[in-house]
């Protein structure tokens, strides 16, 4: 994507060829800063502290984290240690495990002196593939948006609603849920996006609003509890979100609060779409509510909030009285029955095992 006239991905190999650079998402939207990751601990820390976040980008950073580990020590012992360190950084987005499994399986078959180059090459390929996948999700979702636009009287503006950030900042480029919106906007469809602020980390207010604004897409940030009201009053034509892990039956795990939006959409007959790349499908799991591990993060993300003061400085302030307990569940699961359709790089399908298998027939046998 373009920032101040320069094309950026969210992660790239640095000029020295030995480290990677990422956009520091903890600084957005107030500062656009690039951070260098030169070691395994730095890559693991960037994932854990959400310098990088979003399921596909977490996977890409995990892949580069293994490459950085191989540059330091290409032994089997290091491969296993780096795999374990990176895997435990964040538990919910399955793209991380997918990328780490992919690299570990390939590297194990190579002699140690070939592993560093192979790991960097594979991490770069995973990034390129993510860009191609997201572009294809954009094409497939665009067809749905065109259908919605065709049903609007007199070319009236379409209103989408999204939760959290599933745009280019959550992937390597383009995004999952936002890719079809960018495509529709670019081809001249009048589209406006309601952006849920997405407490506690505010990925909607900070990141989705930043992205959409830089791309020129009209949008309005709303408090997390507004969506149901808007849907009751016909002010949302469709909801579209990403996902961090989707089961073979089509249960969708995404940022906390997604489930409530899906319930409101169902009650009001508003289509609820989920956009996802294939590494987000966990073919080993069926029942998302019972089987997907839900990350619980530091309660300080709930009890405090960070923003920019009038003077331009960033500051953290407390919201909750001293002594109150807080709980910070980071994700929830939307059952497949509440999802109108899944939008993947291979096409659009019902959120069901049969739907997913119609696009991924090679998964008919469990493995
Ligand atoms: O905690 P995050 O910011 O890593 O969570 C990301 C999300 O939940 C997004 O909503 C997204 O849809 C999944 S990644 C495209």
DSSP label at residue 205: I
Residue 104's Cα: distance from chain center in Å?
Answer: 23
HSE-CB of 98 using CA atoms within 13 angstroms? 23
Residue 302 has what pLDDT?
98
Radius of gyration of the chain (CA): 20
State the first-to-last Cα distance of the chain, in angstroms, to the nearest integer.
Answer: 36
CB of residue 241 inside a 6 A radius of ligand 1: yes
Of the candidates 57, 35, 20, the residue with the CA atom closest to the CA atom of residue 169: 57
Which residues are marked as active site?
244
Instruction: Find out whether 225 is annotated in a ligand binding site.
Output: no
DSSP label at residue 309: -
- DSSP-based helix, strand, coil % in the chain, nearest 5: 45, 20, 35
Fold of 153-363: Rossmann fold (3.40.50)
Residue whose CA lies nearest to ligand 1 atom number 15:
166
Fold of 2-129: 1.20.120
pTM greater than the 0.95 cutoff: yes
- Confidence at 312, pLDDT banded by 50, 70, 90: confident
**What is the three-class DSSP state of 238?**
strand
DSSP label at residue 207: I
In the chain, where are the structural domains located? 2-129, 153-363
Q: CA torsion angle for 132, 133, 139, 143 (degrees, to 10)? A: 170
Residue 366 has what pLDDT?
65
Q: How far is Cα 167 from Cα 164, in angstroms, rounded to an integer?
A: 9
- The answer to whether the CB of 92 falls within 8 A of the CB of 331 is yes
167-216 pLDDT, tens per residue?
999 999 999 999 999 999 999 999 999 999 999 999 999 999 999 999 99
Dihedral sign from CA coordinates of 183, 197, 214, 49 = negative
DSSP label at residue 208: I
129-165 pLDDT, tens per residue?
999 999 999 999 999 999 999 999 888 999 999 999 9
In this prediction, residues 54-68 reach a mean pLDDT of 98
In this prediction, residues 324-344 reach a mean pLDDT of 98
ipTM above 0.85, yes or no: yes
Instruction: Find out whether 99 is annotated in a ligand binding site.
Output: no
6-55 pLDDT, tens per residue?
999 999 999 999 999 999 999 999 999 999 999 999 999 999 999 999 99
Distance 202 CA to ligand 1 centre (A): 11
């Amino acid at each position: 994507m373009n920032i101040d006239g320069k094309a950026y991905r969210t992660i790239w190999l640095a000029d020295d060829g030995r480290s990677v650079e990422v956009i520091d998402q903890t600084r957005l939207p107030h500062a656009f800063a690039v951070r260098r990751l030169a070691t395994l601990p730095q890559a693991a820390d960037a994932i854990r502290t959400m310098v990088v976040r979003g399921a596909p980008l977490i996977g890409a950073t995990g892949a580069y984290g293994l490459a950085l580990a191989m540059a330091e020590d290409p032994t089997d012992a290091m491969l296993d240690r780096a795999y374990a360190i990176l895997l435990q950084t964040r538990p919910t987005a399955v793209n991380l495990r997918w990328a780490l499994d992919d690299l570990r399986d390939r590297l194990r078959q190579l002699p140690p002196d070939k592993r560093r180059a192979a790991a960097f090459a594979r991490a770069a390929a995973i990034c390129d593939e993510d860009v191609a996948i997201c572009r294809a999700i954009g094409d497939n979702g665009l067809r749905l948006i065109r259908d919605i636009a065709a049903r609007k009287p007199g070319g009236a503006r379409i209103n989408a609603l999204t939760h959290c950030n599933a745009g280019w900042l959550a992937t390597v480029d383009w995004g999952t849920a936002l890719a079809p919106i960018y495509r529709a906007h670019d081809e001249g469809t009048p589209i406006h996006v309601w952006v849920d602020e997405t407490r506690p980390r505010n990925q909607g207010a900070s990141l989705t609003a930043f992205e959409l604004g830089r791309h020129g897409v009209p949008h309005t940030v709303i408090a997390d509890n507004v969506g149901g009201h808007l849907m009751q009053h016909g002010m949302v034509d469709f909801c579209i979100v990403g996902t961090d892990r989707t089961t073979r039956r089509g249960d969708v795990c995404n940022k906390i609060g997604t489930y409530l939006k899906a319930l409101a959409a169902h009650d009001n007959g508003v289509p609820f779409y989920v956009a996802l790349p294939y590494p987000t499908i966990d073919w080993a799991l069926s029942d998302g509510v019972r089987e997907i591990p839900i990350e619980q993060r530091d309660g300080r993300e709930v009890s405090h909030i960070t923003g920019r003061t009038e003077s331009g400085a960033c500051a953290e302030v407390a919201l909750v009285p001293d002594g109150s307990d807080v709980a910070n569940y980071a994700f929830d699961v939307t059952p497949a029955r509440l999802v109108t359709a899944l939008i993947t790089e291979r096409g659009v399908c019902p959120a069901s095992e049969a739907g997913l298998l119609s696009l991924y027939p090679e998964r008919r046998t469990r493995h």
